[in-house]
Amino acid sequence: MLISLQALRALAAWTVVCHHFMQIFFDFHASGPIGQFFTDKGAIGVDVFFVISGLVIYLSSQNKEMPAGRFLLNRAIRIVPAYWLYTALMALMLVFLGRWMPHSAIDLPHFILSLLFIPSENPGGFGLYPTLNVGWTLNYEMFFYLLFSLVFMVPQRYRPVFVAAALVAVSEILGRYGLVSRFYQNNIVYEFLLGIGIGILYRRGLITQGFWLPLAMIMGAGWAILHLDASNRFLHWGLPSAVIVLACVAMENCFKGNRVLKTLGDCSYSVYLVHVLVLYAGWLASEHWQLNPYAVFAICVPLIALASWISYVWIEKRFYHKAKDWADARFAPSQTA
């Protein structure tokens, strides 16, 4: 992956961490401009993730032919193990510590649906959120992967149009008539298409490397994000996020070869999954011992970073390579027959 995208993934993940710090410790009641920024705008990290996801999936599928099942298996062995682990840990936290946690509840049917990436009403009564609440974004990711797996049935040049049509059909038509969950009617799903669009530009060599123009684009997108709310997620946050992603790709030469940024990007998925567990544990300690929330957060940050690095190395990376080697051996005969 481009180092510029790795850096942006890391920034997006830690922005979400700060957003959830304001939620868990202050119930989004900010007391200063920085806290207000992360309260109001911290969720923008999700939009950046979705655009990057569309871009990466598009680029990784170019000039490749594979069965839809193999594509889904590749994505599953990348996403599922860590998600299932931290969902299970969150479930244990809810079972044993839930009475001290606000708006928290768990039941077995909802837990199983969470593991299967099926949107359902959280027992705590706060919406269509899985047991590990940040997993709502993964429900969209898996939905996108499922639709994208179908593109291998059509010629490569028609694939972007095909996946766009599939997204519109499911979200606008099936969703409108109640044939799929209302969860998929959120226009945030179209942010994946913005990433695919950037991928097309990149593949055709239409993104020119530079510094000042991309920087101006980032500043312009940042201004838009500051002055627009999430009432229309796709237009107000999705499009500026796509501009930021495009600008970062255009600044790749400024990031190229930076191993620190690559490592931070590698760990971003685990940061996203782990941080809620650590923050909830920090909040419980803060409430029990009456600790300063910002001092607790200062401890949580390195703990999240360390736990995420361990998670990436030992869960994501090692398991992924072993599972992928197994899948390569398992499917090799059918692919060469």
Backbone dihedral angles phi then psi of residue 89, each to the nearest 5 degrees: -65, -40
DSSP letter at 126 equals: S
Does the pLDDT value for residue 337 go beyond 50? Answer: no
DSSP letter at 315 equals: I
| 12 Rama sector, left if φ>0, alpha if ψ -120 to 50, beta otherwise | alpha
d(CA 254, CA 246): 14
Local confidence band at 336 (pLDDT 50, 70, 90 cut-offs):
very low
Higher pLDDT, 123 or 1: 123
pTM for the complete prediction? 0.94
pLDDT per residue as tens digits for the range 267-322: 999 999 999 999 999 999 999 999 999 999 999 999 999 999 999 999 888 888 88
**302-329 burial code (b ≥16 CB/10 A, e <16):** ebbbebbbebbeebbeebbeebeeeeee
pLDDT per residue as tens digits for the range 10-49: 999 999 999 999 999 999 998 889 999 999 999 999 999 9
pLDDT per residue as tens digits for the range 205-223: 999 999 999 999 999 999 9
Q: Tokens at residue 92, please? A: 């244990």
